[in-house]
Amino acid sequence: MIRWADLRLLLVAVTLFGGAWPITKSALGDATPLWFAVSRTLLGASMVGAILAVQGKLRFPVRQDWPAVLGVGLLQLGGYFALTHLAVALVPAGRTAVLANVTIFWLVPLSVLVLKEQVSATRWVAAGLGLAGVLALAGPWAAGAGDQGTLLGHVMLLAAAFLWSWAIIATRLFPPQRPMLENLPWCFLLGAMVLVPMALIREPFSAGGGIGLGALWQVVVIGCLVAPLGTWAVIEAGRRLPGSVAAVGFLLAPAIGVIVSTLWLGEPVGWDVIIGGALIAASVVVATRG
């Protein structure tokens, strides 16, 4: 039985992450992608760590928690952030929001193969509707899809979604003893350990790498709000909800990202956006009823 409280977590997650990519895209006018990702992890670790310290709950993860902490930190916050932030420099923010969240490509089959989860026929239909929506939004007819840089960005985003799916699988295979919120600072620090060396090599300060004053407000919003609250909501929704429901539900984030990108950044709205958004909305409705 799906609980409304778990669906609320999913709604918080997709709202924050859907709006994050247009904000990130706007920041890249005065910041380089990997250093922006580094700021996201370090600020997230600081914010959650400070809150837990005030509550007397800031503690090193226990042994049982480490598989989930490593999965989230290295895959979801390290690898996923690296690939998505590099890709958003190549792909429009709305399309990034689409492909960065297509865990359904991977999570439904992984849930069946790895977790031995039983997926109902209704949820397979929901998955099909969601995939059709993604294809409508980011198929070969999409603007710039024939460009080599855009194609590379699409591949990177699909790979990022694959890493995120495995992070979700890790938290379900090895449920942590403590709430993931209490482990989140360590997850963010592990992500930073992946990202900082990459940023130093690929975006050295001598070559203009870093974050300028014009991107500071985006750093604060993403690092202090989206990173801690959104990441916690994503982890908990993925852990609590059936894999098929979580995967389909995460597809709401692309729709939100496309809407924000259109209204704020002026990215064009075509038939693909309208049809894709409708199919994704339908997939979420079907999944929650199946």
**Residue 247, helix vs strand vs coil:** helix
**Residue 212, helix vs strand vs coil:** coil
Residue bearing the bigger pLDDT, 171 or 103: 171
User: How does the average pLDDT of the chain come out, rounded?
Assistant: 84
Can you give the pLDDT at residue 145? 52
Lowest pLDDT segment from 30-34, 174-178, 188-192, 195-199: 174-178
Angle, CA of 199, 86 and 72, to the nearest 5°: 75
Which residues are CB-neighbours of 109 under 8 A, at least 6 positions away? Answer: none
Decide if pLDDT at 215 tops 70. yes
Sequential DSSP letters for 142-206: STTTTSHHHHHHHHHHHHHHHHHHHHHHHHHHS--SS-HHHHHHHHHHHHHHHHHHHHHHHS-GG
What is the per-residue pLDDT across 186-208, written as a single tens digit (0 to 9) for each?
Answer: 999 999 999 999 999 999 998 89
Decide if pLDDT at 147 tops 60. yes
- Give me the percent of the chain exceeding a pLDDT of 70: 88
Decide if pLDDT at 142 tops 60. no
Whole-structure pTM value: 0.81
Can you give the pLDDT at residue 104? 60
**Which whole number is the average pLDDT over 4-11?**
80
With 0-12 CB in 10 A as exposed, 13-18 as middle and 19+ as buried, what is 266?
Answer: exposed
With 0-12 CB in 10 A as exposed, 13-18 as middle and 19+ as buried, what is 289?
Answer: exposed
What is the per-residue pLDDT across 63-119, written as a single tens digit (0 to 9) for each?
Answer: 999 999 999 999 999 999 999 999 888 877 776 776 776 666 677 788 888 888 777
**Residue 211, helix vs strand vs coil:** strand
Integer Cα distance of 197 and 99 in angstroms: 25
Integer Cα distance of 125 and 279 in angstroms: 11
What is the per-residue pLDDT across 148-170, written as a single tens digit (0 to 9) for each?
Answer: 777 788 788 889 988 988 998 99
- Give me the percent of the chain exceeding a pLDDT of 90: 38
Decide if pLDDT at 281 tops 80. no
